[in-house]
Structure 1
Amino acid sequence: MTLQTQLVLRALLRNPAHEMYGRQLADETGLMPGTTHPILLRLEQAGWVTSRKEDIDPHAEGRPARRYYRLTATGAAQAGAALAKARRPRTTALRDLAGEGGTL
């Protein structure tokens, strides 16, 4: 899992039932929308995220309709587990950092 995907998941996990639109997630994570939106699409295809397009009149609002995203129940559980695993370095990785027989 990429660091960028982890950032998006962490932002969504702060309040799993809350919907966020793509640009809002980009601003919160510090990622560019061109990075955030493909991640959201992949998460939606995997069933971790669901989305909906807001029902507004773009001319009356003076902006295009937003697409809102939120984690599914399954997605929240899987995201939490994946992020917990991503934070734990493998023992072999720690040994590699220390070098053969070395210490950290």
Structure 2
Amino acid sequence: MAGEVRVTAGVAKVLAAFLEDPAADRYGLDLMKATDMPSGTLYPILARLRDAGWVRAEWEQPDPDASRPARRYYRLTPEGVVVAREGVAELYQKLGIATGGRGRRVAPRPSVNPGPA
């Protein structure tokens, strides 16, 4: 079922959010906040990543005392971690964005102007 997903800027944002803690389960609202994406953009990306085998999704066990519906949790698969790191790094390289490794963006250092000599 594994396949290819083109790593666009939107896909890279989602993958970078997962790479902040690759072993963590993330749910939709959490990812929406982390990526600043609306649900109509995020969920199709998650579906493509799931179909490609890069992300797995599982429903939490419902809590009868919970005041909210059950959440669907997403996590990178081992293959997903590898391709996420490669894909995000490749896209950032093309865009000229430095990373501090593991898919995190690094803010550019301010240039130092020594002033008149």
TM-score w.r.t. the length of structure 1 is 0.80
Q: If each structure's helix is expressed as a fraction of its own residues, which one has the higher value?
A: 1
Aligned pair count reads 89
One-letter amino acid of the structure 1 residue matched with residue 72 of structure 2: R
Name stretches of at least 5 consecutive residues in structure 1 with no aligned partner.
Answer: 91-104
One-letter amino acid of the structure 1 residue matched with residue 30 of structure 2: Q
Name stretches of at least 5 consecutive residues in structure 2 with no aligned partner.
Answer: 1-6, 96-117
One-letter amino acid of the structure 2 residue matched with residue 41 of structure 1: A
| Corresponding residue to 1:56 among 58, 62, 71 | 62
Task: Quote the RMSD (CA, aligned, Å).
Answer: 1.4
- Is 2:51 the counterpart of 1:45? yes
SS in 2 for 1:39: helix
**2:19 aligned residue:** 13
Identity rate, percent = 42
TM-score w.r.t. the length of structure 2 is 0.71
- Which runs of at least 4 in structure 1 moved beyond 3 Å after TM superposition? none
One-letter amino acid of the structure 2 residue matched with residue 5 of structure 1: V
